[in-house]
């Protein structure tokens, strides 16, 4: 399963307590019935909420990108209703599952090229993807979303560029609908929580945080980042991305720096005080992005992660049994990485993962997840079978060890 799909990796690499992870997973399990649209693509939404990707500001957006944003935000009411209905009925983990057949290799290669043209150059389809209630409303070989199938009907023959653009446009609008739904649900839940607290206390709503609510959750975690610290942390993040991934980052990228303090959750340990840096080439769903967590009072990193079609365009995936043939190669790559960059030697033990999602369901994957244990600490390395490269590394064991 690809990073854009349901996957436990995306929250495993977030620096939050085990208790909070357990709570989030419990919420997932309680809400995974497909009628509950809050949990459609729920792990992706969880990541958007925790990591702050929703609402990530555009910096220096191109005219083509603005045109794309206007296109999806200016859908007609009828079209918006179609996507809301599709979201309500969604029971799938991957984009390919919503089609009656997958794209061929040649179609997928053209899809990736046209996707770049769609987001970066404003190349849009002449027509939108048709939505119908029943299959008998269209020709058997016609491209359309069919509500009774809950799938996109696909022609048997090779798709044209226009048809591929319709699929890309459909996915962009669907992702927009997911994000809108997540934001609306959050707003509704926050409003309900405030109204419930006011009703229980039988008092007028005040702008001040009520004393009987305890310490504000956000005040416990977030701290202000000075302009000087932000500039220094950004420079560190740019250097880390260059060193580990070879990508040159500049100020044309979207950049967000957040101060997070989890020390109170871990006995006052200052190693849990740091900066979360999010870098994104653009707000487009296929854009390359990096996430780096840099400690404030120690050297090193707590987490480094990459994503986007640049890294996850290969569709070849493996069952856990098929992936076993690559475990030794990946293990060597993980050990070489932590030795070269962090001076870590042979771990006490190594555990293998990456083939279960947040629901504890077996999945196919192109990644193998290595957990390297050193005493009470461990380092997690996410290694890709197809590219033979690592995509993320995280763990307390990386502190004070940068070479």
- 246 and 133 part of one domain: no
Which range has highest mean pLDDT (21-35, 152-166, 169-183)? 152-166
- 165 and 264 part of one domain: no
More confident residue, 184 or 383: 383
Q: Domain span at residue 386?
A: 217-398
Confidence label for 40 from pLDDT (cuts 50, 70 and 90) = very low
- 172 and 221 part of one domain: no
- 222 and 171 part of one domain: no
Structure confidence by residue, pLDDT tens digits, 343-365: 899 999 999 988 876 667 788 88
Domain assignment present for 108: yes
Domain assignment present for 37: no
Strand partners, 214: none
DSSP string, 128-149: PPEEESSGGGS-TT--EEETTT
Q: Which two tokens stand for residue 245?
A: 């991934």
- 157 and 252 part of one domain: no
Task: Give residue 207's pLDDT.
Answer: 53
Task: Give residue 220's pLDDT.
Answer: 64
Task: Give residue 66's pLDDT.
Answer: 73
Confidence label for 226 from pLDDT (cuts 50, 70 and 90) = very high
Confidence label for 12 from pLDDT (cuts 50, 70 and 90) = very low
- 234 and 306 part of one domain: yes
Element (H, E) at 15: none
Domain assignment present for 294: yes
pTM of the model: 0.72
As for how many domains the chain has, the answer is: 2
Structure confidence by residue, pLDDT tens digits, 52-67: 333 333 344 566 667 8
Answer yes or no: is pLDDT of 24 > 50. no
In this structure, what DSSP letter does residue 156 have?
A: S
Confidence label for 144 from pLDDT (cuts 50, 70 and 90) = very high
Domain assignment present for 313: yes
- 235 and 337 part of one domain: yes
- 148 and 229 part of one domain: no
- In 3D space, the residue among 115, 30, 101, 43 whose CA is nearest the CA of residue 357 turns out to be 43
- 241 and 164 part of one domain: no
DSSP E strand stretches across 64-125: none
Domain assignment present for 1: no
Domain assignment present for 200: no
Domain assignment present for 280: yes
Domain assignment present for 57: no
Lowest mean pLDDT among 141-145, 186-190, 236-240: 186-190
Lowest mean pLDDT among 16-20, 41-45, 269-273: 41-45
- 104 and 169 part of one domain: yes
First to last CA, the chain: 33
Average pLDDT over residues 77-86: 87
Mean pLDDT of the chain: 78
- 153 and 231 part of one domain: no
Distance CA 246, CA 322 (A): 30
- 333 and 228 part of one domain: yes
Q: Which long-range contacts (CB under 8 A, 24 or more apart) does 317-322 make?
A: 317/1, 317/2, 317/364, 317/365, 317/366, 318/364, 318/365, 318/366, 318/385, 319/355, 319/362, 319/364, 320/355, 320/362
């Amino acid at each position: 399963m690809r990073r854009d799909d349901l996957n436990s990796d995306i929250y495993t690499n977030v620096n939050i307590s085990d208790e909070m992870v357990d709570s989030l997973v419990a919420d997932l399990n309680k809400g995974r019935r497909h009628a509950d649209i809050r949990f459609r693509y729920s792990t992706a939404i969880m990541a958007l909420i925790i990591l702050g990707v929703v609402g990530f500001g555009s910096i220096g957006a191109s005219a083509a990108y603005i045109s794309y944003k206007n296109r999806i935000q200016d859908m007609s009411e009828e079209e918006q209703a179609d996507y809301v209905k599709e979201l309500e009925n969604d029971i799938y983990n991957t984009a390919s599952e919503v089609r009656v057949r997958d794209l061929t290799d040649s179609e997928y290669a053209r899809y990736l090229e046209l996707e770049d043209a769609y987001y970066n150059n404003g190349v849009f389809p002449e027509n939108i993807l048709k939505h119908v209630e029943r299959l008998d409303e269209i020709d058997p070989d016609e491209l359309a979303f069919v509500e009774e199938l809950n799938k996109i009907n696909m022609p048997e023959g090779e798709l044209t560029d226009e048809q591929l653009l319709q699929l890309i446009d459909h996915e962009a609008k669907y992702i927009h609908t997911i994000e809108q739904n997540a934001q609306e649900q959050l707003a509704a839940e926050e409003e309900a929580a405030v109204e419930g607290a006011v009703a229980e206390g039988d008092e007028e709503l005040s702008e001040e945080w009520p004393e009987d609510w305890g310490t504000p959750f956000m005040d416990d975690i977030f701290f202000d980042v000075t302009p000087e610290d932000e500039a220094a942390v950004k420079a560190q993040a740019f250097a880390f991305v260059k060193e580990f991934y070879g990508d040159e980052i500049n100020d044309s990228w979207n950049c967000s720096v957040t101060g997070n303090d989890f020390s109170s959750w871990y006995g006052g340990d200052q190693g849990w005080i740091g900066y979360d840096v999010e870098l994104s080439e653009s707000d487009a769903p296929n854009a390359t992005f990096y996430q780096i967590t840099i400690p404030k009072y120690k050297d090193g990193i707590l987490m480094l992660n990459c994503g986007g079609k640049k890294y996850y365009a290969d569709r070849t995936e493996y069952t856990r049994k098929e992936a076993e043939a690559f475990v030794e190669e990946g293990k060597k790559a993980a050990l070489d990485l932590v030795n070269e960059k962090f001076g870590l030697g042979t771990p006490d033990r190594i555990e293998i993962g990456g083939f279960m999602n947040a629901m504890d369901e077996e999945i196919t994957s192109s990644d193998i997840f290595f957990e390297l244990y050193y005493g009470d600490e461990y380092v997690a390395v996410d290694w890709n079978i197809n590219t033979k490269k690592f995509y993320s590394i995280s763990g307390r064991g990386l502190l004070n060890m940068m070479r």
